Amino acid sequence: MTNQELGENVRKIRELKGFSQQNLADEIKVDQKTISRIEKGELSPKFETLVSISKVLSINISQLLAFNENLIFNNYSQYQQGGQFVAYNNTEIEKVENLYKQLLKEKDEVIALLKNK
């Protein structure tokens, strides 16, 4: 796996999980530029950094390294009026549903944490 591929995986999973680069950076105690450089493939992260990223994104390292967006998204098209939609791969709908439920749960946890501050 190249630094570029790893960086793309980090970016895609981060975005799917609803984290900004700054959010992720704050959670793993690095600056936002470090996350940007990792995602661009300009920086090869230390193993400890990958562990931290994985923990924050609630995935294991093997999922980070082997992420395949084709398991989640089948294609991306545009409506006639310029709107966009994502068609899910029907053979993997349970995985998509589980990911969606997990994202909703994480959103609720973040909201609860913010209300408690």
pLDDT digits (tens, 9 = 90+) for 16-54: 888 999 999 999 999 999 999 999 999 999 999 999 999
Name the residue among 65, 64, 62, 52 with its Cα closest to residue 26: 52
Say yes or no: 75 and 112 in one domain.
yes
Say yes or no: 46 and 73 in one domain.
no
pLDDT digits (tens, 9 = 90+) for 70-80: 655 544 444 44
pLDDT of residue 99: 80
Whether the Cβ atoms of residue 39 and residue 7 lie closer than 8 Å to each other = yes
**In the chain, what percentage of residues exceed pLDDT 90?**
44
Say yes or no: 59 and 8 in one domain.
yes
| Coil vs helix vs strand at 78 | strand
Is pLDDT above 80 for 105? yes
Say yes or no: 55 and 75 in one domain.
no
Say yes or no: 40 and 82 in one domain.
no
The number of distinct structural domains making up the chain is 2
Task: Provide the residue range defining the domain that includes 30.
Answer: 3-65
Say yes or no: 38 and 74 in one domain.
no
pTM check: above 0.75? no
